[in-house]
């Protein structure tokens, strides 16, 4: 499915570039800057590896755990951005940040308190 999405993305990009008469200039840029091709290839490799890791995470731990991991990752990314680059966070953003982590910690807390299932196979 991801391969199909990638093929459609390439097709739409090519049609868009051709429709705006930017395809030739884009190919010329790629020819004149060989490091650009290296960067694109490295980005594609990392993207492909990321997709494989996403599928492995979902198949091993489940979709809910994956969503929680991605939510935590995004929230931490925002926090680090605010701290390192002095990006302001207004009260609504801070509230959203607190709600996000509260929900994650509440889910973890509820999961630990849930009693283990009893096996009555006697």
Q: What confidence tens digit (pLDDT) does each residue in 54-87 have?
A: 999 999 999 988 988 888 888 889 889 989 999 8
pTM above 0.85, yes or no: no
Query: Which segments of the chain have a pLDDT < 70?
Result: 114-122
> Do 92 and 100 meet the contact criterion of CB atoms below 8 Å apart?
no
CA-based nearest residue to 75, from 50, 104, 51: 104
The residue ranges of DSSP E strands in 7-110, in sequence order, are: none
Q: Which two structure tokens, joined as six digits, stand for 101?
A: 């982590």
Q: What is the per-residue pLDDT for 109?
A: 82
CA 99 centroid distance within chain: 20
């Amino acid at each position: 499915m991801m391969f199909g999405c990638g093929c459609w993305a390439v097709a739409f990009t090519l049609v868009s570039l051709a429709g705006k008469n930017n395809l030739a200039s884009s190919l010329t840029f790629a020819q004149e800057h060989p490091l650009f091709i290296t960067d694109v290839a490295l980005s594609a490799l990392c993207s492909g590896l990321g997709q494989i890791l996403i599928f492995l995470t979902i198949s091993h731990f489940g979709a809910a755990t994956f969503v929680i991991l991605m939510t935590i990752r995004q929230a931490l990314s925002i926090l680090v951005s605010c701290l390192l680059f002095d990006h302001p966070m207004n009260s609504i953003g801070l509230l959203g940040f607190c709600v996000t982590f509260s929900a994650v910690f509440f889910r973890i807390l509820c999961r630990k308190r849930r009693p283990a299932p009893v096996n009555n196979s006697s």
